[in-house]
Amino acid sequence: METATGSGHPVLVVDDDESVRALIAAHLQRIGCVVYEASAGDEALELAELVRPALAVLDVNLPRVTGYEVCRGLRELMGASVAIMFISGYRSESLDRIAGLLIGADDYIVKPFDPGELVARARALLARRSAWNGHHGAGETKMTDALTAREREVLVLLASGSTQDDIASSLVVSPKTVATHIQRTLTKLGVHSRAQAVAVAYRAGLLTDEVDAHSIVGECA
């Protein structure tokens, strides 16, 4: 048995493909999660009210109620107390992933996925959720408060679609320095991609309306 990072945590797995649900459930149970399964969006929302999951793993294309709608419903029901991971084999382009993150998801995995990667990302989300709860539920706003003024500048430029070289030119620093700022920002926000960092900042209100987070391509993929 692996170290039970997810020990005791209720996890909701939602996919209309029974074999995919069984695969995800088996791997999450290995790290100690208590897994509940649903095959449709409306069923997932009803089950979430009962079990109050710590993590929800959602397919995007679900019967009756889409994964995006389930994501919104979970955020309305539980706020930041639930971590949400999308999985999709149909919507797999960069903008699809970013859209899912901006809707309220914490992570987005494309099918076919590596089970080991899914487990690693689930562990990270559960650990991040615990850290947020340790900050008395302050969540993403608390995380973004830890950023320095320069890290915020870099994040805003990332959100505008700037590349690493563009940012270096704008701030009159080296690309290596920009890379360091980006890595520190990812660490402080508890995320593993630039797209996730921008999405966290966007939802926390750090980015202003003039920043079009949907423009992120390439560098944030």
Instruction: List, for residues 173-204, the tens digit of each pLDDT value.
Output: 898 889 988 988 888 887 777 777 877 777 67
Domain 10-137 homologous superfamily, CATH: Response regulator (3.40.50.2300)
Q: Which of 17, 185, 157 is nearest to 89 (CA)?
A: 17
Query: To the nearest whole percent, how much of the chain has pLDDT over 90?
Result: 32
Output the six-digit token pair for 187: 């660490």
Alpha helices in the chain (DSSP H): 18-30, 41-51, 67-78, 94-103, 115-134, 139-145, 149-159, 164-171, 175-189, 194-203
Amino acid in the structure at residue 202: Y
Domain span(s) for CATH 3.40.50.2300 in the chain? 10-137
pTM of the model: 0.64
User: Per this entry, what is the length of the chain?
Assistant: 221
Q: Which residue has the tokens 């993590």?
A: 55
Least confident segment among 11-20, 154-163, 191-200, 201-210: 201-210
pLDDT of residue 24: 95
Structure tokens at 124: 């990270």
Structure tokens at 123: 């562990």
Residue in 76, 101, 80 with CA at minimum distance from that of residue 91: 101
CATH 1.10.10.10 placement within the chain: 140-220
Q: Specify the DSSP class assigned to residue 215.
A: G
Separation between Cα atoms, residue 24 and residue 207, nearest integer Å: 34
Sign of CA dihedral 191, 189, 125, 57: negative
DSSP-derived 3-state class of residue 70? helix
Q: Mean pLDDT score of the chain, rounded to an integer?
A: 80
Structural domain 140-220, CATH architecture: Orthogonal Bundle (1.10)
Could you tell me the CA-to-CA distances from 55 to 100, 125, 129, 163, 180 in Å, in that order? 16, 8, 9, 32, 30
